[in-house]
Structure 1
Amino acid sequence: MKKNPVRLNKRSVWMTWLISYISVLLVPILISGILYTASWHVVESEVNRANNYALEQMEQAIDNSLGGIERLSMEISLNTRVNAFIATNQPLKDSDYYDLVSIASDLRVYQTANDFIEQIYIYFRNSDTVISSRNRTDSRTLFGQIEGDERKGAESWREFFDKQYVQTYLPVTIQDDAGPYKAILYAKSVSLTNRDQSGAVLLFVIKDTKMLDNIPSSEAAGIAVLDADNRVVASSGLKESPAFLQYDKLSGKSGLFYGDVAGEEAAVSYTTSARTGWKYISMIPAELFDDKMRVMKTLVYASIGLSLLLGGIMTFVFLRKNYYPMHLLIRSFSLKAGISFAEGTNEYGFLQDALNNTFAEKEQVDRRLHQHRDAIRSHFLQGLLKGRLDKDVPVHESLSAHEIQLISPHFAVLLFHIDDFGKLQPDIAADPQKMKLLQFIVMNVVEEVIGSGNQGFTTEIDDMQACILNFGEERDPEELLRIAEQVQSFLLEHFHVDLTVAISGIHEDLFGIAHAYQEALSAMAYRLVMGSGKIIPFAALPSTESARQAGSYDYPLHVEQQLINFVKIGDYDNAQRIIHLIIDNNVSDSALSVPLGKCLMFDLAGTLLKTMDDIGAQSDKKTLIVQMDAVERLTSCETIREMKQEILAILEQVCRGIQMDRKPEQNPLGEQVMAFVRQNYDDESLNISMIGEKFGLTPSYLSKQFKTQTGDSLLDFISKTRLQEAKRLLAEQTMPVAEVARRVGYTDINTFNRAFKKFEGITPGKYKGIQG
């Protein structure tokens, strides 16, 4: 016999293995190519993502600053001195010069409010006066220093700014003592109630270098900001403007394409500002991708080469080595069985023909089936519960094979969930396999309790014990409750094991078992609402119609806010009362469904966690709250009642900590609010909402507590405090009534008059005359 003979006919196993090995050899080569392609896309995507992130940061920073400038322009437009000076004509009087100094002082304050602002100018058309934070000049001097893409010279700019209404951003070049510099000019008209009167124009000068200071560091070769009129607002790293730098070519909110930048290919990313419509553009050299992929390309080529070389050698060696046992086996069968192996025959076909006698194997299979009968029977019962019956095998044959004899066509399903392991808890914690013992005990107790009138088939399914109850002559639903109660009481008395039992309705035929199982699952899911250790018949669940009519649970926003306020002030009694009220009102309603119950649990947990987070952020309770591990305790609850207990326990800890921190000498809320009003009565924005934000309380709760503690309305107390100071000022006879109103916090003289007459019975003017 020749050693390792090679059979090269096309039906030989040798040829089959050779093709298989070559196919396997191609797998790493194909994978290398795929990895290379995927790596290229990943690197490209990561670089582009980083670039887009930088653009978004730049967009957000610039838009926020521009938004601040626009808000600042509105604030300046409402400035009383600015509005008063609009009507001033030439020549200016001494009082006008005083107003100019005041306006310039205000502009210096406004200028410091935004780091983007290089200078602020106000152009008053009526008096041809330009005021900045540094000096006063006229329009010809200012506009002569400004050059734009479309305008140059004082007359051109004056014609543009003398329009009825102006609000725009313009890229300009400004000449000053230090030399020319590029900037962005934001111009906005000061709106007037009288449209025929000449108004004023606010001019904000923004240096483009300050704007580009907000650009995060990146590998971009160039950065540009393009406005909707195709003007380059600002740029960095660009010696010349690329051809693609046109607003119309950058379609969509964002995108990526490749273009030519100074003779080099670059990846161009852009995004569009929702506020200004500007395009923020970043250009990255394409060679960055090649640099990052060069090492990967070398590794891939080396991997392919080694795969071909070593794989070819190993294929040939192992092919010959693996075929030799096959050759010996064929020869052995050929000699001992007297069957000749014909040339051109497949080796596997020869072996299949030689192994026709399968009786020994059949006996072995039968023995194994007998050994695993219980597991197979359990699998069959699980199939009945889930409606997975083998359609190719008659049902009566399957029942007979598993030694199941039915006494009636009526069935029900009971599900048992172990809530507390009782005496077996230490054993199960030490050896999880003891869980099988407890499940075996439960199933045996169930079968014993069922008795002889009915019969039950038990199995373990989805971490629960299921019993298919086959009724005898009587189909009494109360029998199901009896079985559940006896099983519960027996296990609780002897093993301290606590069970939740779900009971289905009664159904006919084997195909009704799956329906009964789904009903039992629905009843078990209602454990969320009912709580652990209950017997839950499916018939007791809220109907679909009642659940649909209910549609929600009762947890109003004002109740949630009351709960938050009570927790923040450490009022455990009232917080506990609200928790009881919320849960009892919902759980006692039979129409509460399982999904709504889960939503209620999540809402309660969210309210408590949000409140605790606020307490931790506003006090030194952060460490205590973290140690309580409230998130883990609340999310681990399986029923609403468990969550109720956990919430009350956590609330008690939090409220006790807040109460302990309170010192006896601290003033009540009413006295604190009264002191705050007396200190801030002249603030025009003083109101209940502003005070509520100061003390971290809602306006309604603050008003109610103030009324309870002081007996006076908070609004009336604010008015009385202001009017007390107003009477003092009126008695001094040193200022007009309008100035007195402004001094005590009233922006409207009519509001001041009404409040004064309400509490004093006369108008402020008459009161001043009486005092004089």
Structure 2
Amino acid sequence: MTMHYKHSLKNKSKSKPSGLMWQWILSYTSVLLMPILICSFYYFHSYNLVEQRTLSNQHLILENSKEQIDSAFYDAINLSNHLQLNSYINMLAHGKCAVDSTPALDRHYLSGDLKMLQVSNALIQQLNVYFPASDYIVTAASAHEMSMLPYMDNVGISFQDWQQILEELDGTHIVCMTPENSSCLVLAKTLQSDIHGAPLAVMAVQLDRERLIHKLQNDLFPEFGGVFALIKTDGVLLSSDSGSAVLEELSFPSIFTFFDSRDDGSLYDTSTASVGKSYLIDFYPTLIPEVGLISVTDKSVYKADLYKLLEVLLFTLTVCVITGLFVIFYFSRRNYKPVEQIVHYIKGYGGDDDNDTNEYHLIMKILTHNQSELEKQRALLRNNYVQKILTGEIAFHQISGPVAEAFSLHFPADRVCVLLLSPETSQESGFSSEPSPADNTEQLVYFIIENVLKELLSGQFPDNYFCIQHRQIAVITCIPGEAAQPEQSLEHIVQELFSFLTRNYQIELKAGISSIHHKDGLSTAYLQADAALEYIKLFGNHPLCHYASIPQEQEIGAIHLNTSDYVVNLILSGSQPQLSDYFSTLRRDLESSRLSSADARSCYYFFYQVTARLRLYCQTHYSFIPSCLDFIGDTFFQIPLPELLTQVQEAFQKASEQLQEKKEMLDNNRWGTDIRRFIQNNYFDADLNLNTLAEHFHISPSYLSKKYKEQYQSSVIDYLYEVRIRNSIQLIQDTNMKVTEVAQMVGFPDSNAFIRIFKKITGITPGKYKAELISKT
């Protein structure tokens, strides 16, 4: 994408508030709030520790108590299971008796069985079995009719209790209750029932309530100030504190409803009206339906120790806030102004004309005025050299040692990755898609992006090489051998770059990232980064795209495209009929199907990739790019797909013809072409001569000179001088460099030799040539 930053110094408007002041305030606030946050963290951490310790103790005790309660219930349920198999109960439940026996005798034998079972568990006070049909109750001590209950000794379950048990068993098979004026806890279960579900035999186990409470109280820690209780929806069954007033005010149905709907370990928070305190309630369900074990803890237990800590916190916060207000506003006002001036210039607001105080002018002075024309041209030459490496004009093995040393192109690692960054086009940001020469503001934007990215990369990827082309920043990143997950790390760094530039300078970027390649495949890596950037432009899903994440589709809808390598090989083969058949098939598929917008864009992107790959192949193998392949541009994606196929087919056919002709020519003179190409790319190297050329191509100087002269009828050195003088003329026309500086730039350490050769080739000296240019303008 081509982008340009528009900005006029003639009509400067008053600076608009950029919001950077508040960004600096927030930045300093984040630093000065550290003691506040530390104190706050300490307080809340201590609060949470006390709270968690209390609640953990409570939960642990509750869990242990629940296991003991469940153990008692489990033993009772096991007794009921055992009694269900008792033959006397089966007979008596159905109004029958054993052979050679009577019901009275069976009840007597059953009483004996109950007595044996009762003595096996110390928690059981009494075992009762009631037969509704005969209205008899059998216990371990006796067997009698229900009507005889008032006359029996040590009765734990009254007539009214039995009626309540039968009513509750009507909807369930097991119930738990506390009889009135009794010291026991009753667990009742249906042993036998008729086909309608009516109970024929009911077991009621009387558990020693005092022993159960004693077990709960023994589990409590001395510092625990809570209450444990076994509850039903309609009341308390037993409690570790029988005189607790808070239990009388709790809504037990609400507690069951709350914990039935949650399984995240949260606690029930409630308060009492009479006492005016807040409580936390933990809950465990038991084996018996609608019966649970709860613990009730007063919140004041773990709040009392935090009041002094809270006083220290408030004092510290007060001191920090008062001191921080002065420091924050003073340093924020002092430091935000330089960055604000830069942003104002980037956004086109103009700025202060005082060059001595304006940060924009100071940075531009670093970029321009403090750099000599010679240094500028050297930087430009290095930039262009790196650009040629990326585009394949210079193969990696063709980088000579002196040039690598002069440009610091050492490439210490064998693996590389290419990042391609492009400022986003927007009217507000000041960038335009119309190409024009880069101005100072554009240089400032590139300067900021490059230096911020260098800083972000320096930790994990210290070796990086930047170049700017087509208003895009290409970054060659060397991947150290010990780097773990380098691709994910690079994506994370680019995301940090996006965030920093957007937050501080309102600069928005798009970025394409290549896969990791060996350094010999730099041009392929650059091609992938460019393809990823173009994918963003076409699909616009995210400002960052990794080439590996792009789907490489061979079929789009009903159109069979095959692979990009297949199409490139088809063009290189020179088979025009096969190429025509390929596009004819695509047209038929296109006519017989309707593509979605996304599928159409995928077709555009496929042919963009094919063309880019073909251009790279032509550059690296034939040192030229056919002009028919220059149709890739902003209008490429605006052409209707049928017309695009026609245009692409014509371009590919012409390219195939030109490549065949070029191949025949190169077969005859490739040797000389490689030498000329090397000279064109390294002419500025002062050490480049016949001997270094011969050493690079691994042949003797005499053989090189002889072969070259046979092919081109001139010497190698003559061609070297021709290339140098041609580039020196361009420098004289475009810059104000002195003759000695021009000589150094094109590889002449001796300016006298440069003047002599310049006059020999052009007929005049460099000074006179410059004078004639000035007189003509």
TM-score by length of structure 2 reads 0.38
- Determine which structure has more spread, i.e. the larger CA radius of gyration: 2
TM-score by length of structure 1 reads 0.39
Q: Which has the higher contact order (CA 8 A, sep 6+)?
A: 2
